[in-house]
Structure 1
């Protein structure tokens, strides 16, 4: 998770536990985004709704955005299931969507 205005970041695991390290854009220790209850609520909400958005895709990246203390899906980058690929198709069938 990153705060682009403050130039801070923090990483979380699937259980919303903070991880060591930073986003590559803000890698230094003094660029650590403070973890608080409100931030954890947003992270847990994102973690809980991501599988419903992902459906049966083999791969999906979901970017979330928090504005005015509300969580939004900002962008999706996905791939349809491999069993739907045409034989010999190596294009990846990637689809980018912006909300």
Structure 2
């Protein structure tokens, strides 16, 4: 009997829940929490803190790269390299993992 397990938020019932900041059909609505099988998969407050941490780390890395650019060897634009890979089930790289290290190819 599905009706005993769904339809409302009560202990013992099954359900995935999204708590919205506004009417879910509004373009201004934001997900505050997403809970699936009792596990919180998204928490807006935690996400905002994580985004701040990412911004701080990005700034640190950019500053480090700029410092290296000033004190290191001259920089050159990245050049694209191409590798044509033909995959077949009877070859060693059939699962799609191809490692290229210093122009040596390792079919794992």
Q: Do they superpose with TM above 0.5?
A: no
Higher relative contact order (CA 8 A, sep 6+): 1
TM-score (norm 2): 0.25
Larger fraction in helix: 2
- Larger Rg computed on CA atoms: 2
